[in-house]
């Protein structure tokens, strides 16, 4: 709830009085008092967001959250309505109409009150006060994390939060204006004239007005003198400004002309902005079009260049085909050349083999000579052996020399065996030598057959080189053909891109034409959006009213006031049949208005959807 003077007055009046007429009269009075007390009519000084009570009268533990606006508390007698007001008065205004022991719940040693509020500086504060055992009182600044604990400092801080002068008593303010005790709401009006005058003079600061009036006597005298001087000056100025009315008429005409020109300039400025935006879009499209034209020219030049290169490649292809025919014509000669080349390689291998055989023949001739020498030597040794055998026969009687002779015999036998082996090896070498001679004769015949082919081999080498050149040319032609095919593919892609660009360009021109045709519709979009938002606000407000009227009608069953829950005394005075019919009329009116707004909003939404296509 908003805890300014007006809100507190409304809060307590609704709680305290059952007669709506008296509520209205006292409400106007307290509105007047609130404006004079604060010095700032209607200014919100703080907002109470939450109250926590612990061991306070009938409450053991309760937490109350308050919303914005005026809060009405209702309930049966003894439910604790007054206790909440007294807790606010004790925690914030140091006012308690009885002792702390009576304020603490029966059987408990202490009571605690915590008030959470938003101060006039829009900062969160917590005021906590404990009564009974371990009493304390402090104000906690949640944002600055600072606590004010001394009683004098706490009272000064509360004066600051409420926007009240330091000289005014918080207790008197709460007792006489804000938190009038139950049953004594009109007691101030029933007191004697002197007592009533003292209290209202204090509330309305009548003494301050008297002092100010005394202080203003000299000022009034000086003011009268200045008024006379100003009257004389007015007479002089009236004479000097006798033509002022004509000038005013002229000035009014000029002002109207100025406003008209200003409106026209504003309209022209908006048109210039729209045209500049349109010019920017067209300039961008023109640059893009020029870029596409340059790209088209470049593609065209590239296409012509590729056409020239294509003709060159076709000529080269014809030459390559001619060369291919020549290669195919010389293919039999080339095959004969390959056969001759293979034969030449084999002959060269045979020649190399012949040279190796000649070397082996020379080695074998030397070996054969050595073998023949060994054979001759062995023949000599054989003769010696035969002579020795004859000698053995002659010396057989000699037993002593028998063993020596046997040894010599064994040696000679081994030598004879070696001789037989050498003879066999010599025969084998002679046969091998004869085979080599036969191979040499065959090789000589082959060489004599190859000699006439040397000239053909020389010509064949030249033809091989020519065929290699033709193959290289054919490979180059194939590469050029592949490049030509790639260029053709690139040219085809360029043509497709050019066709796509031309299609996009035509679409863009069509879109520009459509946008230009519906430009006026697009200019309606901001105004349509504003109207749509306005209808949304009206719809939300009407829905809230309908919800409130429905709730009030439900609570007013039987002619009871939805706020006081008592029979309303003002129905007949205003000519209202019943509260239900009154709220039914309000509901019917607002529902009809809501249906009309919904239809208009749907129409505007459809128009916005249509216009957005051209925005």
* Residues 478 and 530 reside in one and the same domain: no
Q: Where are the beta strands (DSSP E) in 534-613?
A: none
Distances (CA, A) of 502 to 164, 296, 574: 79, 10, 78
Distance CA 81, CA 70 (A): 15
C-beta separation of 50 from 64 below 8 A: yes
CA 351, 354, 357 angle in degrees (round to 5)? 155
* Residues 467 and 424 reside in one and the same domain: yes
What's the pLDDT tens digit per position in 541-574?
888 888 887 887 787 766 666 555 566 655 655 6
Sequence-distant (6+) residues with CB within 8 A of 292 are 501, 505
222 part of a folded domain: no
Distance CA 598, CA 539 (A): 8
* Residues 451 and 340 reside in one and the same domain: yes
Where the chain has pLDDT below 50, the residues are: 1-44
* Residues 90 and 196 reside in one and the same domain: yes
498 part of a folded domain: yes
* Residues 487 and 579 reside in one and the same domain: no
* Residues 512 and 562 reside in one and the same domain: no
* Residues 504 and 541 reside in one and the same domain: no
**Could you write out the three-class secondary structure of 383-415?**
HHHHHHHHHHHHCCCCCCCHHHHHHHHHHHHHH
Distance CA 457, CA 340 (A): 7
Distance CA 444, CA 450 (A): 10
Distance CA 515, CA 379 (A): 133
> 525-555 and 579-612 helices cross at what angle (nearest 10)?
160
C-beta separation of 131 from 16 below 8 A: no
Long-range contacts of 121-130 (CB under 8 A, 24+ apart): 125/161, 127/91, 127/92, 127/158, 128/91, 129/90, 129/91
* Residues 109 and 161 reside in one and the same domain: yes
* Residues 412 and 431 reside in one and the same domain: yes
What's the pLDDT tens digit per position in 240-275?
777 777 777 888 888 888 788 788 888 888 887 888
Distance CA 119, CA 40 (A): 16
Our measurement of the distance from residue 595's CA atom to the centroid of its chain's CA atoms, rounded to an integer in Å, reads 40
Structure confidence at residue 334 (pLDDT): 66
Name the residue range of residue 543's domain: 522-612
Which among 469, 371, 474 has a CA at the least distance from the CA of 426?
Answer: 371
392 part of a folded domain: yes
261 part of a folded domain: no
C-beta separation of 453 from 340 below 8 A: yes
Distance CA 568, CA 287 (A): 78
How far is the first Cα of the chain from the last one, in angstroms, to the nearest whole number? Answer: 47
Distance CA 604, CA 525 (A): 10
DSSP string, 449-484: HHGGGHHHHHHHHHHHHHHHHHHHHHHHHHHHHHHH
Domain boundary among 492, 516, 540: 516
The total domain count for the chain is 3
Domain boundary among 516, 539, 573: 516
568 part of a folded domain: yes
Distance CA 54, CA 132 (A): 12
Structure confidence at residue 532 (pLDDT): 86
List residues bridging with 593 in a β-sheet: none
Domain boundary among 516, 532, 563: 516
CB neighbour class for 530 (10 Å; exposed up to 12, middle 13-18, buried from 19): exposed
Structure confidence at residue 64 (pLDDT): 92
Residue found by looking up tokens 């070696």 in the block: 418
215 part of a folded domain: no
Q: Where are the beta strands (DSSP E) in 8-165?
A: 47-56, 59-65, 110-118, 124-132, 136-141, 146-148
Sequence-distant (6+) residues with CB within 8 A of 314 are none
354 part of a folded domain: yes
176 part of a folded domain: yes
Query: What CATH number corresponds to the domain at position 136?
Result: 3.40.50.300
Q: Pull the structure tokens for residue 354.
A: 């012949």
Residue 563, classed as helix, strand or coil, is: coil
* Residues 436 and 585 reside in one and the same domain: no
* Residues 464 and 542 reside in one and the same domain: no
Structure confidence at residue 385 (pLDDT): 66
C-beta separation of 559 from 568 below 8 A: yes
* Residues 563 and 468 reside in one and the same domain: no
DSSP string, 187-246: HHHHS-HHHHHHHHHHHHTHHHHHHHHHHTHHHHHHHHHHHHHHHHHHHHHHHHTTTHHH
Specify whether the backbone of 271 is left (phi greater than 0), alpha (psi in -120 to 50) or beta. Answer: alpha
């Amino acid at each position: 709830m908003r805890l300014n003077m007006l809100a507190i007055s409304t809060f307590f009046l609704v709680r305290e009085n059952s007669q709506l007429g008296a509520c209205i009269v006292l409400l106007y009075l307290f509105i007047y008092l609130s404006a004079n007390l604060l010095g700032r009519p209607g200014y919100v000084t703080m907002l109470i967001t939450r109250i926590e009570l612990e061991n306070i009268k009938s409450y053991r533990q309760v937490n109350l959250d308050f919303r914005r606006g005026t809060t009405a508390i209702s309930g049966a007698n003894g439910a604790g309505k007054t206790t909440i007001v007294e807790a606010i008065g004790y925690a914030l205004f140091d006012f308690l109409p009885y002792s702390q022991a009576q304020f603490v719940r029966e059987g408990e040693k202490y009571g605690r009150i915590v008030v959470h509020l938003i101060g006039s500086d829009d900062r969160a504060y917590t005021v906590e006060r404990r009564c009974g055992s371990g009493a304390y009182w402090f104000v906690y600044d949640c944002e600055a994390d600072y606590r004010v604990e001394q009683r004098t400092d706490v009272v000064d801080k509360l004066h600051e939060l409420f926007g009240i002068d330091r000289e005014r008593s918080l207790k008197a303010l709460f007792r006489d204006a804000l938190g009038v005790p139950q049953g004594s709401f009109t007691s101030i009006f029933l007191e004697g004239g002197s007592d009533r005058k003292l209290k209202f003079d204090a509330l309305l600061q009548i003494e301050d007005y008297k002092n100010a009036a005394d202080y203003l006597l000299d000022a009034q005298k000086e003011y009268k003198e200045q008024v006379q001087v100003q009257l004389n000056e007015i007479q002089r100025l009236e004479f000097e400004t006798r033509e002022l009315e004509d000038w005013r008429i002229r000035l009014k005409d000029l002002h109207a002309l100025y406003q008209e020109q200003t409106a026209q300039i504003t309209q022209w400025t908006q048109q210039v902005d729209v045209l500049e935006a349109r010019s920017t879009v067209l300039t961008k499209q023109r640059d893009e079009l020029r870029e596409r034209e340059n790209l088209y020219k470049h593609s065209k030049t590239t296409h012509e260049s590729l056409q020239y290169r294509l003709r060159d490649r076709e000529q080269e292809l014809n030459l390559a085909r001619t060369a291919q025919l020549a290669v195919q014509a010389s293919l039999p000669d080339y095959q004969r050349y390959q056969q001759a080349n293979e034969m030449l390689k084999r002959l060269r291998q045979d020649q190399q083999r012949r040279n190796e055989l000649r070397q082996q023949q020379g080695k074998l001739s030397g070996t054969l000579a050595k073998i023949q020498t060994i054979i001759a030597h062995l023949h000599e040794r054989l003769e010696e052996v035969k002579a020795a055998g004859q000698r053995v026969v002659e010396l057989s009687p000699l037993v002593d020399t028998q063993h020596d002779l046997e040894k010599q015999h064994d040696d000679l036998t081994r030598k004879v065996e070696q001789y037989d082996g050498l003879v066999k090896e010599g025969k084998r070498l002679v046969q091998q030598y004869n085979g080599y001679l036969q191979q040499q004769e065959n090789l000589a015949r082959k060489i004599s057959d190859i000699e006439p082919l040397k000239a053909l081999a020389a010509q064949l080498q030249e033809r091989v080189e020519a065929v290699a050149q033709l193959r290289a040319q054919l490979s180059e032609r194939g590469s050029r053909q592949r490049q030509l095919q790639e260029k053709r593919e690139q040219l085809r892609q360029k043509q497709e891109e050019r066709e796509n660009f031309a299609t996009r360009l035509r679409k863009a021109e069509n879109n520009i034409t459509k946008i230009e045709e519906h430009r006026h519709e697009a200019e309606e979009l901001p105004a349509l959006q504003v109207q749509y938002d306005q209808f949304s606000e009206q719809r939300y407000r009407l829905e809230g009213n309908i919800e409130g009227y429905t709730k009030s009608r439900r609570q007013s069953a039987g002619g009871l006031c939805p706020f006081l829950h008592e029979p309303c005394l003002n129905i007949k005075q205003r000519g209202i049949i019943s509260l239900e019919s009154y709220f039914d009329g309000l509901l019917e009116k607002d529902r009809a208005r809501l249906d009309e707004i919904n239809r208009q909003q749907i129409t505007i939404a459809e128009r916005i959807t249509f216009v957005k296509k051209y925005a």
